[in-house]
Amino acid sequence: MFTFLPSLSRWGRASAAFAGLALLTGCDLNFFRMDGHQSTIKVEGVVAREQLELFYVTCWVSLVIFLIVGAVLAYATFKFRARSEADEHAEPPPQGHGNPLIELGLIGASVLALVIIAVPTLRGIWSTYDVPEAEKKDVYEVTGTGYQWWFKFEYPSELAPINNEGAKAPLITGNELVIPAGRPIRIQLRTVDVIHSFWVPKLAGKVDMIPNRANHIYLKADKPGYYWGQCAEYCGDSHAVMRFRVIALEPKRFAQWVQDQSEMARTRQATAADANRPKAQFASLRSFKTNEAGITEKFDIDPLQAWEAKQLPEKNEDAALIAKGRELFTSKTCMACHAVRGHGFAGVTAPDLTHIGSRTTIAAGLLENNSDQLRRWIRDPGSVKPGNKMAKAYIDNKIAISDEEQVALVAYLESLK
C-alpha cells in the first residue's frame, strides 16, 4: 500500500498511515473539544459526575494495561526480530510449558484489574439507579414519554385546569423539561410506540424508554442551567433529530414557572389599532433548505437567558391576526392532535401547545422557537423532520396552508405564552 513511500523507514510509514487515518476520520482540533452541549466530560450533575469518575477508573486501568502489554510486545518484537536470512527460516525453538509463577501472577493481576473496575462499577450502578434514601423526601417526580419523534413531560403533582368547569389534570409540556435545580428528580420513563432512550449527557447517563415496561431515571442539576438532551436509541427516520432540553431553575423561579404554566392559554381581544398593522410582519417568507440549521449563534451564547426572555409576552402583537390563527387551528384540523387548554383544543397525540410561546425550541429541540422557524415548520414539517406525523397528516387529509395562513398560525402560536 505504501510502496509510493520507498524512502521512509517502517516507523515513518506507520506514522504516515496513522496521520492519514486521523485525517480521514475528520480528527481535527475540534475533536479534542470536550466541553460541547452534550459533553459527558464537563458534567453539571451528581449522577453524571459519579458516572464520569467511573469512566476515569476504567480508563486509567485500561491505559496501564495497554502500556504494559504494548511495552512487552515492543520489547519482544525488537529483541527477537529476524536479523538475517537464516533467522527467517530457522526452526522454532523448543516449546516449554511456561513459567507457573508468571502464569499465576498474570491471572492474579487480571483478577485484580477486574476487581478494581468491578467494585466502583457495582457501587455506581446501585447508587445512580435511584434517589438516595436520605434524599427521598425531597424527590420531585416527572413522567417523560417518548413518541416518534418528540418527548412529552407530565408533572403528576401539579394539577392544571383543562376546561372552564374546574376539571383538572397533570400539567403537560413538550420537549422542554423544566426542573428545580438542586433537587433530586425521578423521571418515570414511558413510550407510546418504539424504544427510545432518555439522555441528558451533562446530568445523567441514558436510560431506555421501553414499550410495556416501567423504567425510570434519577438526576439532579447542581445549579440553574440549560441542558441539551437527545434520544439515544435508534427509533426510526428522525431518531437523530429527536432532541429535547432540560431547564433547571432556582426552586422559587420553578414554582413561579409551574404557576404560569398551569394557567390556561391566554385569550386577547383585538383592538382597533391592531387591525391596521401589516399582517406579514411576524414571519419571513424566505424558504429554508432541508437540514438547514435552525438555531442561531446568538441563542447559543446564553440559552438560559433566552429561555427567560421567552417567558415574557411578544411585543407588537396583532390581535386580529392571532384570532385568525386560532380559527385556522380548528379549520386546518391542528386541534385533532394538539391541545391548547382554555381554547377548547384537546388533541393528545402531538405536543401540548398551551404555552408553546414560552418554549425556546420547537420540533423536539431542533429549531429555535421564533417566527421564522415556526413558519418553516408549519409550511413543510417533512423537510425538517422526515417521516413525522404532521407531514403525513397534511398529505392524508389534503391540508394546504397558504402563506397568509401560515403567518396567522405563527402569530397565534407565538401569543400562547
Cβ pair 214, 190 in contact under 8 A: yes
How far apart CA 220 and CA 156 sit, in angstroms, is 18
- Stretch binding ligand CUA (CB under 6 A), from 61-69, 108-116, 228-236, 388-396: 228-236
For ligand CUA, the closer of residues 171 and 189 by Cβ is: 189
- Does position 233 interact with ligand CUA (CB under 6 A)? The reply is yes
How far apart CA 286 and CA 370 sit, in angstroms, is 14
For ligand CUA, the closer of residues 149 and 226 by Cβ is: 149
- Stretch binding ligand CUA (CB under 6 A), from 127-135, 170-178, 226-234, 326-334: 226-234
The grid cell for 78 is 525488537
User: How far from 368 is each of 12, 195, 297, 373, CA to CA, in Å?
Assistant: 49, 26, 10, 6
Q: How far is the CB of 239 from ligand CUA (least distance, A)?
A: 3
- Does position 235 interact with ligand CUA (CB under 6 A)? The reply is yes
How far apart CA 52 and CA 122 sit, in angstroms, is 14
The grid cell for 292 is 438547514
User: Among residues 43, 142, 178, 231, which is the contact residue for ligand CUA, using CB under 6 A?
Assistant: 231
For ligand CUA, the closer of residues 146 and 180 by Cβ is: 146
User: Among residues 146, 201, 303, 351, which is the contact residue for ligand CUA, using CB under 6 A?
Assistant: 146
* Interhelix angle 403-415/319-331, nearest 10 degrees: 110
Contact track, ligand CUA, 157-196, x by CB under 6 A: ---------------------------------------x
Q: Which residue has the cell 510449558?
A: 97
- Stretch binding ligand CUA (CB under 6 A), from 60-68, 168-176, 229-237, 268-276: 229-237
Q: State how far Cα 2 lies from the chain centre.
A: 43
Q: How far is the CB of 226 from ligand CUA (least distance, A)?
A: 21
Contact track, ligand CUA, 83-122, x by CB under 6 A: ----------------------------------------
- Stretch binding ligand CUA (CB under 6 A), from 165-173, 233-241, 264-272, 333-341: 233-241
DSSP of 144-210: EEEETTEEEEEEEEEEEE-STT--EEEEEEESEEEEETTS-EEEEEEESSS-EEEEETTTEEEEEE-
Cβ pair 247, 66 in contact under 8 A: no
- Does position 405 interact with ligand CUA (CB under 6 A)? The reply is no
For ligand CUA, the closer of residues 60 and 234 by Cβ is: 234
User: Among residues 203, 242, 283, 350, which is the contact residue for ligand CUA, using CB under 6 A?
Assistant: 242
Parallel/antiparallel/unpaired status of strands 176-180 and 243-249? parallel
- Stretch binding ligand CUA (CB under 6 A), from 99-107, 235-243, 326-334, 365-373: 235-243
Q: How far is the CB of 123 from ligand CUA (least distance, A)?
A: 30
The grid cell for 122 is 457495582
Q: Which residue has the cell 398560525?
A: 409
Q: How far is the CB of 234 from ligand CUA (least distance, A)?
A: 6
Cβ pair 359, 175 in contact under 8 A: yes
How far apart CA 379 and CA 401 sit, in angstroms, is 7
- Does position 239 interact with ligand CUA (CB under 6 A)? The reply is yes
Phi, psi torsion values for 416, nearest 5 degrees: -85, 80
The grid cell for 387 is 417521516
For ligand CUA, the closer of residues 241 and 323 by Cβ is: 241
Residues 6+ apart with CB under 8 A from 129: 218
- Does position 248 interact with ligand CUA (CB under 6 A)? The reply is no
Q: How far is the CB of 275 from ligand CUA (least distance, A)?
A: 44
Q: How far is the CB of 385 from ligand CUA (least distance, A)?
A: 12
List residues binding ligand CUA (CB under 6 A).
146, 149, 196, 231, 233-235, 239, 242
